Amino acid sequence: MSAVGFDEVITLDGPAASGKSTVARRVAAALAVPCVSSGLLYRAATAIVVAAGTDADDPAAVLATLGRHRVELVPGVAGDVLRIDGRDVTRAVQSDEVDAVVSRVAVHPEVRAWVGERLREMPAPFVIDGRDMGSVVFPRARHKFYLEASPEVRAARRVGERAADLASVAEAIRRRDHLDARQLAPAPDAQHLDTGPLTLDEVVDWVLARVRGAGTP
Ligand code: DC
């Protein structure tokens, strides 16, 4: 029998490069439920705004630009797929160009409402990662987790994923933490974990133990 009820949502929040999307994918696979990365919708909005040359600081212009495109986020057990106007852009939006602008787009309440609306339409069960999934979008989720790690640890992980040097990545992460600070609102009932000293397997096992009710909080 599955450890997750048919209508359950598991939220995994945390700062940039905290490993939450990898953990979310692994937890979802172990539970045989789809996973959703909410950051992909913010990345989609940003990619559209950048391509159109829209002023990222003007929420009305951003929303008008978004309205001209079809954005689909399709949950999947092997990871979710993001499409803009029918084209798979899941990997393309993981770029430094999008990273540099995404916080300016994500800060607008109008954009957050646009993302929240799309996420709430998704059929449960699923595992979802983001910044405010447990606090704002799915406050009634049964299992809520908040993953932390220092900027240096997160930079070292990211350098493994993309070609860049450690110091500049750590600096970019610190800048993004600062810009994302308003969105980084852990739910009061989320279980926190400092992933710094842990391996990916250990983090995944820690989350699964709590979802399955085997661990002590
Ligand atoms: O998780 P990520 O790095 O793909 O997210 C990209 C950006 O989107 C991040 O800088 C902040 C924003 N974001 C957000 O504000 N709220 C979320 N729930 C998810 C992402």
> Can you give the pLDDT at residue 89?
98
pLDDT at 6: 66
Output the residue whose Cα is nearest ligand 1's atom 3. Answer: 16
- pLDDT of the residue at 179: 84
Residue 3 lies in a domain: no
State the residue range of the domain holding 141: 9-202
What is the model's pTM?
0.89
Q: Identify whether the C-beta of residue 211 lies closer than 8 Å to the C-beta of residue 31.
A: yes
118 in a structural domain: yes
* CATH number reported for the structural domain that contains residue 112 in this entry: 3.40.50.300
| pLDDT at residue 195 in the model | 93
Res 77: pLDDT: 85
pLDDT value, residue 18: 86
22 domain residue, yes or no: yes
Q: What's residue 214's pLDDT? A: 46
CB half-sphere exposure, 53, CA atoms < 13 A: 0
Ligand 1 proximity of 183 Cβ (cutoff 6 Å): yes
Give the chain's domain count.
Answer: 1
User: Residue 4 falls within a domain, yes or no?
Assistant: no
209 in a structural domain: no
Provide block-wise average pLDDT over 10 residues at a time, the chain (217 residues).
Answer: 72 90 93 95 98 98 98 90 98 94 94 96 94 95 94 84 76 86 86 93 96 63
Is residue 217, in this structure, part of any structural domain at all? no
Q: Sign (positive/negative) of CA torsion 174, 176, 181, 187?
A: negative
What separation, in Å, do the N-terminal and C-terminal C-alpha atoms of the chain show? 23
Residue 215 counted as domain residue: no
**CB contact at 8 A, 196 and 146:** no
CA 39 to centroid of ligand 1, rounded, Å:
4
CA of 30 to the centre of ligand 1 (A): 24
